[in-house]
Amino acid sequence: MTNLPEFIQLHSDSSSLLVDCTKRTPAIIYWGKKLSQETTGEMLTLLSTRQEAKCSVVVEAPISLSPLLGQGFTGSPGIEITNNDIAWSLGGDLSNVVQVNSNEVELESVDKIRKIKTIHKIKLDQTSNVLALSTELVNIGQQPLNVNWCAAPTIPMTDEMNKIMSFEGRWSHEFQRNTIDLFLGSFVRENRKGKTSHDNFPGFLMHNEYTHENTGECYGFHLGWSGNNKLRAELLPEGRSYVQLGELLLPGEVELRENESYKSPTLYSVYSANGFNEMSACFHRYVRTQLLQEKVRNKPRPVHYNTWEGIYFDHDVETLKGLAEHAGKLGVERFVLDDGWFKGRRGDYAGLGDWVVDKDIYPDGLQPLIDHVNNCGMEFGLWFEPEMVNPDSDLYRAHPDWVIQTEGNEQLQFRNQLVLDLTRTEVVDCLFKMIDDILVEYPKIEYIKWDMNRDINHAGAFNGKPAIHKQTKALYQLIARLRAKHPNVEIESCSSGGARVDYGVLEHTDRVWTSDSNDALDRLSIQRGCSYFFPSDVMGAHVGPRDCHITGKRVSVEMRAGVAFFGHMGIEMDPRELTDHERGALSHVIALHKKHRNLIHNGDLIRANSDGDSINFGIVNAEKSQALFSYNSVNETKRTNPKKYKFSGLHADKSYELRLIWPTKLDEYSPSLLSKIEGKVFTGESLMQFGMQLPITFPQTTLIFELNQQ
C-alpha cells in the first residue's frame, strides 16, 4: 500500500469524518463534531487501542467500510456474494485512493484471489453537513458473481448512542416515531413491498437519553432508494456498535458477469451536536440545494386544488369547470385533475394502462377544461399511475404477459390492479409514448401527479428473475426521460400517500404526497415525522373535507387550514359544499400562506419537544429576523391552564413584534393574554427563556403567531 494516505480527513462547516487507511481495508474511525487540524488520525487510532480480552480474538476484526466474512467479522458483513468458487470469503486490500476534491474521496480495494474490486465513495457536503456514501462491487474475473447483499459503507457508532428512533406506520398513518433502547444484537427493519412503503421508512436516528429537539448529540441515516431495503443497528458483544443500510436483494436478483458492477443506493447521514432540529436543518438544506431542480426552487410553490376527494371518479366537464371557478376564487394557483379522466375509467376496476382521454366524458378532449382552468388563473396538472394496469383494459388484453408475476402462483388481489414489468424495454417505451403523446397534445399540462397504489407481491420479471432492483432503476429512467423531453412539467411522487417518499425518487421528482389522510389531527404527527428528513416545501399538505373521508373525524376549517398552511399547501374537497364562513376562512388563509410561503419553504424548522397534549413548531429565517410559530392543541391539558409556549430559535439580543395571525377569530371563555399581546414587542431572550402563557382552548385548536424583528 505504498503511496497511499494513512488517514483521510473530510470536513464540513460543523462536522468531520476520518477514515483509517492503515489496515488492509479502510474504516471510519471518527464521524462527528468538527475537529481541528491539530487532531490527527494517529492520535485517534492510538486512543482507540483495545487490549486482548479473555476467550476472545487477539485483535478484533475491523468495522471497516464493508466488514467482511473474510476478515473474520462476526457481525453483519457489509458484502455477501457467492459464485462457484470462494467469492463468499471476500477479503481484499486497499489499492487506490482518489481524492476527488477536499470533500470527496473514492477508495478502491481489490481481492486479487477472488478477482473482485470494491469502490467506496464518500462525500461530505460543505454547507449542509450531509455525508453521502455508496459501495460499488465490480466483477473483474470471468466467473459470474451473485450479489446477495452490498450495503452502503458501514458507520461505527460512538458509545453514547444507545437509543434508536425509527419511523413506521401504515397507509394513511405514516411516519410514526418509535424509540427503543439499543440492545445486544441487531435492530433490523426489512421492507419487501417493492417500493419505499408506508410501513417502514428507510431511515432512523441514533441518539441517547439526553437528546431532544434542541439539545444533545444525534445521527440521522436515510437510504435514498425507492425499492426494497434493509436497515440495521447492531451492538456487538465486545461493546462496539455500528449502523448499516442497503438495498434488500431477493435471491438471484443481481448477477454480475465479467466487468459488470453493482452500486448500492446512497446512504445519507447527518451528525448533530445540537439536537434533532439541527439534524433536520442539515437534511432540509441538502434536499433544497442538491436534490431539487433549480427552476422549482426559484418558483413559489403554487397552491393546489386536487379533484380526488371532491368528485372521485364522477367526472363531468361542466362540473369540473365549476370546481375550477370555485378554486380560482379561493386563490388556488394549480388545478390537478385526478384519477378518472382516461378511457374506461369509471372506478378502480378498469382502465389503468389505457392512457388516452375518454371521449365519452371529454368529447372534445381535455383542451376545453385546460383552457378554462388557465382562464381562471391556474396551471393545469394531471394524474397518472403508469406502473399499473387493470386486467379490464385494452393494454392488458393485448399484452397479458407484460405484468410482474411468478409462474404457477396465483396473483394476490390488490385494488383490481397488477404491476407492469418495467424490466421489459417494450413496456417502458409504450408507457413513455402514451404519456408523451398526452403531454405533446396538451402542452399546457405543467404538472403530473405520479401515483402507485399497490405493493409488488409477486416480484417476478419476464425472465423469471426477481424484478425489484431493475424495476426501480427503470422507473427512475422513465421519469428522467420524460423530464428531459418535457422540462417544464413538474412531477409529484404519490404512492397512496407516503409509500414512496425518499431521496432516491426525489432526485427525479419535485414534490411528495405525504399521506392519503387529510385528517388534520393525524397530519400533525405524520408531517412531524416526515419533517425529520424532508423540508416543508416538498411535503404536499391539503385542506380536506369537513368530515375526513378516511377517519370520519370532523375538524374545523381553522384547524385543517392551519395544519396545511405549513406544507406545500392545497385544498382537496368539493368547494361547492363550503359554508360562507369556510369559504371566507380558506380565502384568507390561502392569501396568508402566499404572503409567508417564502419563509415557510426556505426557513429552518424548529420543532418543540412533545408534551403529549399539543404538537408545536416554528419556522425561522436564516437571519432570525422573521418567524412563524404554531401551537396545535390535540388533547385537553391536564391542568386548568396550559404551560407556557417557548419560541425557540430566535436571537436573544433582538426584539420582536408578536402577532396572532390565525385564526382570525377565537371564541374564549374569558379574556386571555391574546387580547393584550397584539403588536407588543418582546426581547428574543424573554420569548425563548421565559415563554408566553398560552390561552385556554378546546382540543382541535391551532394558533399561528408571526414574529418580526424591530
**pLDDT band at residue 117 under the 50/70/90 scheme:** very high
The residues carrying an active-site annotation are: 451, 516
pTM (2 d.p.): 0.98
Residue 638 is predicted with a pLDDT of 87
Give SS3 for 538: helix
DSSP state at residue 60 = P
The CA distance from 200 to 189, in Å, is 7
What are the phi and psi torsion angles at 693 (to 5°)? -65, 125
Which one, of 292, 39, 229, 256, lies nearest residue 140 by Cα?
A: 256
User: Which residues belong to CATH 2.70.98.60 in the chain?
Assistant: 7-44+61-291
C-alpha cell at 245: 443500510
Sheet containing 185-191, strands listed edge to edge, beginning at the edge strand earlier in sequence: 155-157, 241-247, 229-235, 185-191
If you average pLDDT over residues 557-571, what whole number do you get?
Answer: 98
Tens digits of per-residue pLDDT, 434-473? 999 999 999 999 999 999 999 999 999 999 999 999 999 9
What are the phi and psi torsion angles at 604 (to 5°)? -90, 130
The CA distance from 331 to 589, in Å, is 10
**pLDDT band at residue 2 under the 50/70/90 scheme:** low
CATH architecture of 606-709: Sandwich (2.60)
User: Which residues belong to CATH 2.60.40.1180 in the chain?
Assistant: 606-709
Please say if the pLDDT value at position 340 is more than 50.
yes
The identity of residue 112, as a single letter, is K
The CA distance from 434 to 352, in Å, is 12
Please say if the pLDDT value at position 566 is more than 60.
yes
State the alpha helices, DSSP H only, in 572-632: 580-600
The CA distance from 423 to 513, in Å, is 26
Class of domain 294-513 as given by CATH: alpha beta
Nearest 5°: the CA angle 468, 530, 153 is: 55
CATH level 3 topology of 7-44+61-291: Beta-galactosidase; Chain A, domain 5 (2.70.98)
Residue 157 is predicted with a pLDDT of 98
Residue 669 is predicted with a pLDDT of 83
Give SS3 for 456: coil
Judged by average pLDDT, the poorest of 559-563, 595-599, 611-615 is 611-615
Tens digits of per-residue pLDDT, 663-678? 999 988 899 999 899 9
If you average pLDDT over residues 610-627, what whole number do you get?
Answer: 95
**pLDDT band at residue 552 under the 50/70/90 scheme:** very high
Tens digits of per-residue pLDDT, 5-18? 999 999 999 999 99
Please say if the pLDDT value at position 239 is more than 90.
yes
Burial track 141-178 (b if 16+ CB lie within 10 A, e otherwise): beeebbbbbbbbbbbbbeeebbbbbbbbbebbbbbbbe
Tens digits of per-residue pLDDT, 478-526? 999 999 999 999 999 999 999 999 999 999 999 999 999 999 999 999 9
C-alpha cell at 576: 361547492
Helix axes 367-375, 317-330, angle to 10 degrees: 20
Q: Give the mean pLDDT of the chain.
A: 97
**pLDDT band at residue 1 under the 50/70/90 scheme:** very low
Q: Are 578 and 648 in contact (CB under 8 A)?
A: no
The CA distance from 703 to 694, in Å, is 10
Query: 644-645 and 655-662: which strand pairing?
Result: unpaired
Q: 366-374: long-range contacts at Cβ-Cβ below 8 A with a sequence spacing of 24 or more?
A: 366/337, 366/341, 366/442, 367/442, 368/317, 369/317, 369/320, 369/321, 369/324, 369/337, 370/442, 370/444, 370/445, 372/321, 372/324, 373/324, 373/335, 374/444
User: CA quadruple 289, 292, 298, 300: dihedral positive or negative?
Assistant: negative
User: Which residues belong to CATH 3.20.20.70 in the chain?
Assistant: 294-513
Q: Give the bridge partners for 607, in sequence order.
A: 617
Tens digits of per-residue pLDDT, 314-328? 999 999 999 999 999
CA terminus-to-terminus distance, the chain: 61
Q: Is the peptide bond before 300 cis (omega within 30 degrees of 0)?
A: no
Please say if the pLDDT value at position 298 is more than 80.
yes
Residue 610 is predicted with a pLDDT of 87
